[in-house]
Structure 1
Amino acid sequence: MCGLAGWLSYERDLSTQTSIAEEMNTTLECRGPDSHGVWTSPRALLAHRRLAVIDLEGGRQPMAAPAPDAPVITYTGETYNYRELRDELRSLGHEFRTESDTEVVLHAYLEWGAGFAERLTGIYAMAVWDPRTEELLLVRDRMGVKPLYYWPTPDGVLFGSEPKAILAHPDTEAVVDAEGLREIFGIVKTPGHAVFRGMYEVKPGTLLRFSRSGQEETRYWRLTARPHTDDLDTTIGRVRSLLEDIVAEQLVADVTVGTLLSGGLDSSAVTALAARATAEGADDGGSPRVLAFSVDFKGHGERFRSNVQWTDPDTPFAIEVARHVGAEHVVVELDNADVLDQDVRDRVLRAQDLPVSTGDMEYSLLVLCRALKERMTVALSGEAADELFGGYTWFHDPQAVEAETFPWHHPFEKAGGIGALRTIGLWGRLGLTEYVKRRYAEALEEVPRLAGDDRREERMRELTYLNLTRWENFLLDRKDRISMATALEVRVPFTDHRLVEYVYNAPWAMKSFDGREKSLLRAAMRGVLPDSVLDRKKNPYPSTQDAAYEEAVRERVRAAVAEDDAPVLKLASREEIGRLLDAPEGTYSMGGPWSARAVLERLVEFNNWVRLHDVRVDL
């Protein structure tokens, strides 16, 4: 999946600055442990760290076209239709030296210029330097699966797959002001916002062009509203066929590919379709069984208590799915020590660059990805199905639907997260009510409308758009950062733009035709998955319910605020935080990204983040 970094300057001679590009590149070593390289010229430096997945020997980067003064690319991700594009480009006279998708993307640029991005199907982020025009292009995939950040300078730009690469440059500083803190604690995830002052994120579906005349932004893809003309049966069949094609396409690699299996509908659908495609390809030398990994907590089944988020434990359903589809199944069992381990937490913080803890989920995910990496290099995952098909509780809770805010703020309020931020004064101190309201209004302005929609249909279209462009970006970023911290590539079939475009425009009456969440997806998977899984209520990613874990988190908060120079005391006083800690045990035991316990986790991580990563908080 790889990592990239670079520097463009129209006034400095960068051919003498290679060591800086190498330092930026080194910060991304986990993303690409297999090889690395830096391409040097007076105007531009391009760096790359490689995780070899396709054409293990021939796909080294940065890659230059075979001609004097030709364009150069540093590229991360996967272009799933690269074989079809290569055939088309060959018919147009292009010759290829490798079997890599990177070379295909480079030749696509040579053939179609800046319009090449519209021809790609996949998950990618890249930089293309064209010495002929002295222009740099930064391009990000349609749904923003692969990260890409940039820092404009007076005479050019710095860029990288992660903020840490840019912050390794001597001309930058890790500064976070009130605006950045609002992004961290407001659970907003504004497209383009990178939290650090002076830094930005390339928006999904966007191409940025940097030239001597300045910066130009082009959206080459966005969600659009159009009439849905298929009937229900046709729609169900179309969803099924799209998913079959997409999953089969995403299994293509020169390394072992497996799946992440929770036992929920989304991951089970991906695993089942991957198992079928893998078995069908066994005659071509592939493995006849797909490898599926799950995570669980020791004693979780015995101590499990249902609540508003979790109705039943995942593992029994994951086991049933694996048996049903014939997958080789591995359960990674964790205990408190695994998710409280300071090395794990430091690595998660380093991976994410920000203190965005949602409880224990990030830490268990890192341990799970480590285990996967021992058996595979690529894993398919079920992210984006809930956003696309309407799986979350807030799609079906009338109060959340009608709330004039981001719909995930409703469970955040109910679970005590917003109340916890108010208890310590941070919600009011940062002006989060006003900030969230402003960002929400901006998001609504973007929503594509369809003439003739009634108010119900219009509102559900709004909620789907908000989820796909805000909440999903948060989840995709989390999965990418943590998986790549273990050199594991995660592919996400439900983000394929062909599926997204089709299902986004299916009317809400179809998405909930049987009165349940994700009606279309469940119907499309009927006969492929066990009925017990198809009829199961949606559960979030697993989180521990062990009271001992909560107490350990409290102890860490107490230890942090006991120090007079604790960075967290810039956010709230010792007395304010003490009010949270004085709450009875169990108040925060529900866990999950919206709970008050997650706020305690975030306070601890903020404290560590400022100290370990030399962050200056400017309030």
Structure 2
Amino acid sequence: MCGISGWIDFQRDLTREQLAIDAMCDTMSCRGPDARGTWVAPHAALGHRRLAIIDLPGGTQPMTSPDGDVVIVYSGEAYNFTELRDELRRRGHQFTTDSDTEVVLHGYLEWGPQVAEHLNGMFAFAVWDTRTEQLLLVRDRMGIKPLYYYPTEQGVLFGSEPKAILANPLAEKVVDADGLRELFAPVKTPRHAVWSGMREVEPGTVVTVDRTGLREHTYWQLRATEHTDDQETTVRRVRELLDDIVARQLISDVPRCVLLSGGLDSSAITALAGLELRRSGEQVRSFAVDFLGQAENFVPDELRATPDTPYVHDVAEHVGSLHQDIVLDPDALADPAVRRAAVQARDLPMGLGDMDQSLYLLFKSIREHSTVALSGESADEVFGGYKWFHDPAVREADTFPWFAAVRTQQGQQASVLAPHVTEALDLESFVADSYRTAIAAVPTLDGESGLERRMREISHLHLTRFVRVLLDRKDRMSMAVGLEVRVPFCDHRLVEYVFNAPWSLKTFDGREKSLLRHAAADALPKSVVERVKSPYPSTQDPKYAAVLQGQVADLAATGNEALSLLDGGWLREALAKDPANIDTPTRYAFERALDLATWFDIHHPTIKL
């Protein structure tokens, strides 16, 4: 895993711009703490920060072809690189390293831009071909690894993260009304990167840049196909895929582990990893997050019926993992330095608060023991695990399901935005327009029933919009501490197969994630097989909310720029509340205010409404 960056300019002599490419590259030192390299020519400059995972001595980048005509900077993992290397050798290619980067480079020499179609993995890479003066920006099918670009008058800037692009003097730190809409009503508009002028390479897409301009080619997207397997065959096929995926994603030349929450998703990955490693006499290592006093003082709510820890320990004992709980206290979660690290990692003030901070702290602790971690992320989107998939009111709502679910569970939250911002953004119309655009892109089959068609729509919305927010969050928080997180449930073969399984098959036992539950049941303790879905944990300690209130009061006293976006009346009322009885919407709003203020502090964006 790594961070990549670059600058293409068909008029400027970039050999004189070494300091600029160095600055872009160095913004991502956390993504690649093991090595740093640049390659500079008159019209192309590429930068790379390396986190060494495969072939530690041999995978140095930027990497050039044997004749020096082609240069690549690569981030990610190609899990089928050994098979591809064998195929390329049969075609006459010779290799000098054991790295997957060299395989991707030779794959480009053999297949050109179509190399992406041959890869199984998570990746974002750039190829500069000196023979044609053409740049390729390539992103994996599900968007697991990030990649952004910023067109200029004479070329393009690109990077794994916006901060790399923003380090270049050509990039303006401007956020317009559309960017703010993405922040305050996150719908993950395709290609939108929040920063004005910046774009995100779409998953499953190749962007080509040359002297004639910029073009996009989609090499993969979800398609609707008829599912002909019966229930037993489908369950068996899901298990076969998962066994193969987990085995591939355990390949590493550095210590690896699994993230274990005690839910079905992470427990299944832990159990299958344990079975695979046991064949070679190894023991799987697992980590879980917990909060001080959470198990003893847990109070069930609409989202979380049970605490995670008892189930975590059931799985660890059942699988025989070498397990460690990472226990966090309210002071650590509320530490402004931790919040700053989380906001800086994401480049955006997303307002998830303690769930961002705890993830960052969890990954930071794990990095002391492992460099690679397997995660259960995305199983809910693939298999239909969220409660709102099964709520008739949400299914019938004419909006994104996750928006309808919030209204159903908590009631419509009052806006915390200043009146002039609310009026300028018109978020209600923005969400409605975004929803209509997203629905229009859903592939369907002729003859599908009303329910089957609707559930295909909901699944597609989650796999093309919702999951990308979560994948970006996990990538940013993990790479901020130099930890590579792999997501087996995002293997495109599994995603394609389950997406086309009828909803009746996905819920054949009357519960959520029926296919996954039955595919992994033999490897799991009964307690987890029967457990009801519970999302990523959040601290329930009232001290945390009280600390947030105090921090927002300090913010109001100092007058941060971010406060100009917030409603002063709401702020005064929220600060007057009893610190011991702060409700969930108010706590969420405090998180948003603090994240916004931190973001302004880091980037000093120019806001154009």
- Indicate yes or no: 2:404 matched with 1:410: yes
Is the 8 Å Cα contact of residues 378 and 488 (structure 1) preserved in structure 2?
yes
Q: Per the alignment, in what secondary structure is the counterpart of residue 99 of structure 1?
A: coil
302-311 or 222-231, which moves further after superposition? 302-311
- Indicate yes or no: 2:155 matched with 1:161: no
Q: Per the alignment, in what secondary structure is the counterpart of residue 40 of structure 1?
A: strand
**In structure 2, how many angstroms separate the alpha carbons of the residues matched to 1:185 and 1:411?**
17
- Indicate yes or no: 2:122 matched with 1:127: no
Shift in CA distance, 270/606, structure 1 to aligned 2, threshold 3 Å: same
1:101-500 correspondence runs (5 A): 101-282=100-281, 288-416=282-410, 418-421=412-415, 425=419, 427-500=422-495
Is the 8 Å Cα contact of residues 424 and 577 (structure 1) preserved in structure 2?
no
- What is the CA-CA distance between 1:219 and the residue it aligns to? 0.3
**In structure 2, how many angstroms separate the alpha carbons of the residues matched to 1:116 and 1:394?**
38
Q: Per the alignment, in what secondary structure is the counterpart of residue 421 of structure 1?
A: coil
Q: Per the alignment, in what secondary structure is the counterpart of residue 30 of structure 1?
A: coil
Q: Per the alignment, in what secondary structure is the counterpart of residue 401 of structure 2?
A: coil
- What is the CA-CA distance between 1:525 and the residue it aligns to? 1.1
**In structure 2, how many angstroms separate the alpha carbons of the residues matched to 1:188 and 1:550?**
27
- What is the CA-CA distance between 1:343 and the residue it aligns to? 1.5
User: Equivalent residue for 1:44?
Assistant: 44
- Indicate yes or no: 2:543 matched with 1:543: no
Identity among equivalent pairs (%): 52
Is the 8 Å Cα contact of residues 416 and 567 (structure 2) preserved in structure 1?
no
- What is the CA-CA distance between 1:302 and the residue it aligns to? 2.0
337-346 or 110-119, which moves further after superposition? 337-346
User: Equivalent residue for 2:23?
Assistant: 23
- Indicate yes or no: 2:563 matched with 1:569: yes
- What is the CA-CA distance between 1:607 and the residue it aligns to? 1.3
- What is the CA-CA distance between 1:415 and the residue it aligns to? 4.9
**In structure 2, how many angstroms separate the alpha carbons of the residues matched to 1:18 and 1:541?**
43
Q: Per the alignment, in what secondary structure is the counterpart of residue 196 of structure 1?
A: coil
User: Equivalent residue for 1:599?
Assistant: 589
- Structure 1 unaligned segments of length 5 or more: list them: 283-287
**In structure 2, how many angstroms separate the alpha carbons of the residues matched to 1:585 and 1:391?**
35
Structure 1 residue identity aligned to 2:151: P
Is the 8 Å Cα contact of residues 545 and 589 (structure 1) preserved in structure 2?
no
**In structure 2, how many angstroms separate the alpha carbons of the residues matched to 1:439 and 1:567?**
29
Is the 8 Å Cα contact of residues 418 and 596 (structure 1) preserved in structure 2?
no
TM-score after normalising by structure 2? 0.98
**In structure 2, how many angstroms separate the alpha carbons of the residues matched to 1:459 and 1:584?**
44
1:377-419 CA-to-partner distances (Å, cap 9, x unmatched) read 0000011100010100110111111111110012322454851
**In structure 1, how many angstroms separate the alpha carbons of the residues matched to 2:581 and 2:418?**
16
User: Equivalent residue for 1:32?
Assistant: 32
Q: Per the alignment, in what secondary structure is the counterpart of residue 541 of structure 1?
A: coil
Q: Per the alignment, in what secondary structure is the counterpart of residue 490 of structure 1?
A: strand
- Indicate yes or no: 2:84 matched with 1:89: no
User: Equivalent residue for 1:285?
Assistant: none
**In structure 1, how many angstroms separate the alpha carbons of the residues matched to 2:394 and 2:586?**
19
Q: Per the alignment, in what secondary structure is the counterpart of residue 77 of structure 2?
A: strand
Is the 8 Å Cα contact of residues 4 and 73 (structure 2) preserved in structure 1?
yes
- What is the CA-CA distance between 1:423 and the residue it aligns to? 7.6
Is the 8 Å Cα contact of residues 152 and 199 (structure 1) preserved in structure 2?
yes
- Structure 2 unaligned segments of length 5 or more: list them: none
Is the 8 Å Cα contact of residues 549 and 579 (structure 2) preserved in structure 1?
no
Is the 8 Å Cα contact of residues 422 and 428 (structure 1) preserved in structure 2?
no
Shift in CA distance, 423/349, structure 1 to aligned 2, threshold 3 Å: closer
Is the 8 Å Cα contact of residues 8 and 43 (structure 2) preserved in structure 1?
yes
Is the 8 Å Cα contact of residues 417 and 565 (structure 2) preserved in structure 1?
no
- What is the CA-CA distance between 1:599 and the residue it aligns to? 2.6
RMSD: 1.4
TM-score after normalising by structure 1? 0.96
**In structure 1, how many angstroms separate the alpha carbons of the residues matched to 2:205 and 2:424?**
34
Is the 8 Å Cα contact of residues 377 and 488 (structure 1) preserved in structure 2?
yes
**In structure 1, how many angstroms separate the alpha carbons of the residues matched to 2:589 and 2:565?**
12
